[in-house]
Amino acid sequence: MHSLNKSFGFIVFTTWLLLNVSCDSKHKAEKLFQLLPSNTTGVTFSNDLVFTEEYNPYTFKNFFNGGGVGVGDINNDGLMDIYFAGNLADNRLYLNKGNLVFEDITQKAGVACKEVWSSGVTFVDINADGWTDIYVCKSGKPGGNNRHNELFINNGNLTFTEKSKEYGLDFIGLSTHAAFFDYDRDGDLDCYLLNNSLRSVGGYDIVEGLREITDTLGGNRLLRNEHIVRYSADSLLTSPTIRFKDVSKTAGIYGSAIGFGLGVSISDLNDDQWPDLYVSNDFFERDYLYLNNQDGTFREVITSATQEISLGSMGADIADIDNDGLPDIFVTEMLPEKMSRYKTKSLFENWDKYTLNGSKGYHRQFGRNVLQINQGNCGKEDDLRFTEISRYSGLDATDWSWGALIADFNNDGNRDIFIANGIYKDLTDLDYVNFDFNPEAIKGMIDKKEQVISRMMEKVPSEPQQNYLFLNKGNYNFTNAAELSGLEKPTFSNGSVYADLDNDGDLDLITNNINEKAHIYRNNSELNPGNTFINISFKGQADNIQSLGTKIICYYGKEKIMQELNPMRGFESCVDPRIHIGLGNINHLDSIIIFWPDGSKSLVNNPGQLNTFITLDYNILDKIKTNKTVVPSVTLLTGVSNKLDLLHIENEFSDFDRDRLLFYMLSNEGPHLAVKDLNNDGLEDIVLGGSSGYSTQIAYQQKNGTFVKKEFSVLTQNAVMEDSRILIEDFNGDGFQDIFVCGGGSELPNTSTGLKDRLYLGSKNGFIENPEVFNGQYNSTSSVVWLDMDADGDKDIFAGGRMEPFNYGIPATSFVYENINGKYTLSPSLSAPFRQYGMIVDAIGSDINGDGIAELIILKDLSNVDIFKVQRQSIQNITSPTGLLNIKGFWTSMRVEDIDDDGDSDILVCNKGLNNRLSSDYDSFEMHVNDFDGNGQIEQISCYTESSWTFPWVMRDDLVKQLPGLKKRLLKYHEFAAADLSTMFDQGVLKNSLVYKVNEFRSGIFRNDNGIFTFVPLPEQAQWTDQKASLIADLNGDGKKDIVLGGNQMKARPEMGIDAGSYGMVFINQETFILIISKIQNQESVNPEKSET
């Protein structure tokens, strides 16, 4: 252990010295970033593109992908130099002269890569001679001089020598980027070469097994550094030879023709001190997440580690977003933020195509950015899990995005996200695709002997986009501060990097732009004078002198910040090869632990003053011997699924074939279960509801804790029915538990016997059905309550109506079955208040007002909580004075209990959450229900409101397909994008529509204070998914009630995406609720496609 008082392993530059380096850069800072003019910086590079009939986006699919940018210190003067990759333009190398002034030394250095398409840039000291080298990836059309990737070896005098062939790195193909890392921990740097496919996207059928077929002309490559040490005849050591060997196949790396790779990131994702890989793939191929097996091979785990990924994945970056010590993943895509562009540029797969892709092994992919929060290993060491929360964090839609960079740009201790944005031509513009770029129009151009490509390109819209800067506000909340931070200029930016170009203690930005000079943004750190930083360089082992792959954790008080040294980041780019950490307003670090690439560790205690640049030297710092930290498992809940003899299978049914305007299915709201002692043996048994085609199941608990399923013919003969709720009570008072099963779902009409509720009467011999109670009453039921509904001293049955199948949105009818001398009979008078009452999702009987008499509490979909007081022969709605009427949500279930132990009952409600598009920052959500075209079929149009105007969420083609009469009125997509409901429909139609308005998406607690309820949302993690079920119990024995939540909605239209942010959550009551388990242990057997609650 060392301190700053000793010079072991440290080189320290004080802030005073750093400020003197840049003392000439005096200016008045008004925004976080300042765009510097090219005539001041000397950086005039512009990635100029001109398309021709022979070379254009239709002959080369990556024509508008742009070029990368890299930074590194090529002359060891402590200043970061810049290298830009050009496509049709020559590359440029700029020497940093200090004070943010640069000199173009390209010609002298010999690194122009003339007349060949360059893409990715990597700075790396590949031969470990102390001088930074440059590796350039090549792409574009085949043929021509210097078409292979080039490796420029630094001669130490501002010149370079090209040696790619000598090193085995002269690949010819469509290379995107290269990442260097020591994957086998043998001390030298290996290479992952990311390539894009030579084949066209349209040349593939979605079939299984394509990624296992190696593409000999392309394909991604893992290249192992064959560091050969040779001796002369007299046994003297000569210079070692470095040669890279392709070991992709034996290492488990996919190298197929469907790998349309656009991003590669290195990180220790599962915290085992071995580097792992994340590869983002464009088009239909799924991304790859490779975990290092520690034996020279990798295993690809994307489908088990994530619930969902981006569809057309672009750039990516990995860093610790939430300061929990685990690296998180951010991947960019192309979803527009502005609705005017969303409705005119977006293309989405239909449900059938989406499900086909998933069934063929391409995973659940959606057209948006993703932010994957690392949850660590779930229950066992080899079970890495991520939770996707981009929609919750407001990061999902940033238009046609490329480079993604995660770094602390304002030194507040939280990592922010910069996104380079824009495509030069909107090739997916729907008016262009459907009206200008069609066979008839093209044939006409050919007949006129016009230059077809040139004419077509003239018609494609071109709209530069603002880059994004999301400032991290903590708790997974981000704010786009691009315009307020000086990044307001629209561009077509692709590659981007951060670097402290002037060594003043903050991160500047560089972007490589199409048809515009590169941008250099100075970071004005003096706007945040209270924030501190530390900048760390590393000197590593002999063959990895930059110590790439090093991870550090800085500790201060109870907090920590983790960062890894992997400069190859974002899109085709390479960032500052030093670790820069913003620390907020702290003024002292307790310690830094260094995890070296070879697996060893060092500890630095009291590293001294902040606002400094330091160097940590592997060869000087002592190594510490520590066992792997074992965090005791939280055992409040342990999965015992392997002891159950039960399996729920969801039947195949697509609501979207019939209800074309719905975004989420209604047919999969199960499975439901109930627990009680059915056979009076003192052990609780389980009843599991079945989907249509699968019967209700009963499993009896054994004394050893296992469960054994028992078949009953009375259950199997009703297998056609969808079980939508189960209640176990002794309904007939004979001492045996009976089972009430609701018939529900959206698949059958209300005239179908498949919707019949059933009452199974228990006896010592099993169960029999009591058929006469519900004959003739067919309703999609969601809930059942056994409650005295007429205050006559016995309990009646309330069966809550969920929906009118085929007519979602029309209020459903509920029924009350009166108990008359032990027999249940439909009571028209008791049912009257519930005729076409609403779409009930849950109902509970509980004494909510403390008068000793249980009330009926009802939770309605797209509506509020209602409370009904039961009186003699009358039922009174007493909701109005409680404060419950005005809070309306996408509620799914509830619990009623005294959660805060103040003597009255509170209401825990599960809701859709905030990790979805519908909860975006528009004024409100509305659903308009009507037969809009008068054809006898009800439509549901989900809308958002903005400045008192109401716009549909649904895309034009889907709306017109359902309502063909709108086609002429909304012929063009830009017309549709500007149209609100009043433009589409007559006022009479709108006036007669049933309108639901939702103003609360969060799950939470209605806290009871003397009969007045106040909504208190649960912590942010509870809002990451569509919560479906809850449990209130004292889990840790401290006398306080804790909360367990479960949910997810896996059947959603692709444009909205699934809600899959939960692996099960446990919140411990510590005055406020604290999430302690973000994933229920040992859940490897749960398939979210089959079981959701």
Q: For the chain, what are the domain ranges?
A: 10-426+462-527, 919-996
Contact 532, 411 (CB under 8 A): yes
What confidence tens digit (pLDDT) does each residue in 6-31 have? 334 544 444 434 444 444 444 556 89
Task: Determine the residue type at 198.
Answer: L
Is residue 388 scored above 50 in pLDDT?
yes
Measured CA to CA, the distance from residue 264 to residue 176 in angstroms comes to 9
Task: Give the least confident one: 46-50, 53-57, 550-554.
Answer: 53-57
What confidence tens digit (pLDDT) does each residue in 255-302 have? 999 999 999 999 999 999 999 999 999 999 999 999 999 999 999 999
Task: Give the least confident one: 89-98, 229-238, 469-478.
Answer: 229-238
Contact 484, 446 (CB under 8 A): no
pLDDT at position 670 is 85
pLDDT at position 634 is 54
What share of the chain in percent tops pLDDT 90?
81
pLDDT at position 5 is 33
Contact 576, 549 (CB under 8 A): no
CA angle, corner 571, sides to 565 and 575, nearest 5? 35
Burial group, residue 323, by CB count within 10 angstroms (0-12, 13-18, 19+): middle
Closest by Cα among 60, 214, 74 to 154: 74
Residues 6+ away with beta carbon under 8 Å from 814: 779, 798, 799, 800, 801, 831, 834, 837, 840
From residue 630, alpha-carbon distances to 272, 356, 595, 946 in Å are: 12, 42, 17, 51
Measured CA to CA, the distance from residue 849 to residue 929 in angstroms comes to 35
CB atoms within 10 A of CB 216: 8
Is residue 756 scored above 80 in pLDDT?
yes
Measured CA to CA, the distance from residue 867 to residue 845 in angstroms comes to 10
What confidence tens digit (pLDDT) does each residue in 160-173 have? 999 999 999 999 99
Q: Which residue has the tokens 């191929």?
A: 285
CB atoms within 10 A of CB 813: 18
Is residue 116 scored above 90 in pLDDT?
yes
Measured CA to CA, the distance from residue 69 to residue 277 in angstroms comes to 21
The three-class DSSP label of residue 221 is strand
Measured CA to CA, the distance from residue 962 to residue 256 in angstroms comes to 40
What confidence tens digit (pLDDT) does each residue in 365-379 have? 999 999 999 999 876
Phi, psi of 1070 (to 5 degrees): -125, 60
Pairing of strands 160-162, 150-154: antiparallel
Burial group, residue 833, by CB count within 10 angstroms (0-12, 13-18, 19+): middle
What confidence tens digit (pLDDT) does each residue in 502-539 have? 999 999 999 999 999 999 999 998 888 999 999 999 99
Q: How many residues does the chain have?
A: 1093
Give, in words, the CATH class of 10-426+462-527.
mainly beta
DSSP state of 651: P
The three-class DSSP label of residue 442 is helix
Measured CA to CA, the distance from residue 683 to residue 705 in angstroms comes to 9
DSSP state of 433: I
Closest by Cα among 878, 886, 874, 884 to 849: 878
Taking each helix axis from N to C end, the angle separating 439-447 and 452-459, rounded to the nearest 10 degrees, works out to 130
Token pair for 665: 């299915």
Contact 264, 179 (CB under 8 A): yes
pLDDT at position 203 is 60
Contact 555, 320 (CB under 8 A): no
pLDDT at position 1082 is 45
Average pLDDT over residues 126-147: 93
Task: Determine the residue type at 216.
Answer: T
Grade residue 254 by pLDDT with cuts at 50, 70 and 90.
very high
Task: Give the least confident one: 137-141, 445-449, 620-624, 808-812.
Answer: 445-449
What share of the chain in percent tops pLDDT 70?
93
What confidence tens digit (pLDDT) does each residue in 419-476 have? 999 999 999 999 999 998 777 777 777 777 778 888 888 899 999 999 999 999 999 9
Is residue 579 scored above 60 in pLDDT?
yes
Token pair for 538: 């590393």
Containing 39, the helix (H) or strand (E) segment is: helix 38-41
Cα-atom radius of gyration of the chain, to the nearest Å? 32
Counts of helices then strands in the chain (DSSP H, E): 18, 70
Measured CA to CA, the distance from residue 307 to residue 384 in angstroms comes to 12
The residue that leads in pLDDT, 294 or 205, is 294
Is residue 131 scored above 80 in pLDDT?
yes
Contact 864, 855 (CB under 8 A): no
Task: Give the least confident one: 191-205, 629-643, 732-746.
Answer: 629-643
pLDDT at position 236 is 54
Measured CA to CA, the distance from residue 687 to residue 767 in angstroms comes to 13
Is residue 981 scored above 80 in pLDDT?
yes
Residues 6+ away with beta carbon under 8 Å from 782: 669, 724, 725, 742, 744, 800, 801, 802, 803, 840, 841, 842
Work out the end-to-end distance of the chain between its first and last CA atoms, rounded to an integer number of angstroms: 51
Q: What are the strands, taking DSSP E only, across 934-986?
A: 939-946, 949-952
Average pLDDT over residues 108-126: 97
pLDDT at position 569 is 97
Grade residue 142 by pLDDT with cuts at 50, 70 and 90.
confident
From residue 1012, alpha-carbon distances to 783, 849, 1006 in Å are: 25, 10, 9
Write out the DSSP string of 348-362: ---HHHHHHHHHTT-
CB atoms within 10 A of CB 1010: 9
Pairing of strands 532-539, 612-617: parallel
What confidence tens digit (pLDDT) does each residue in 1046-1064 have? 999 999 999 999 999 999 9
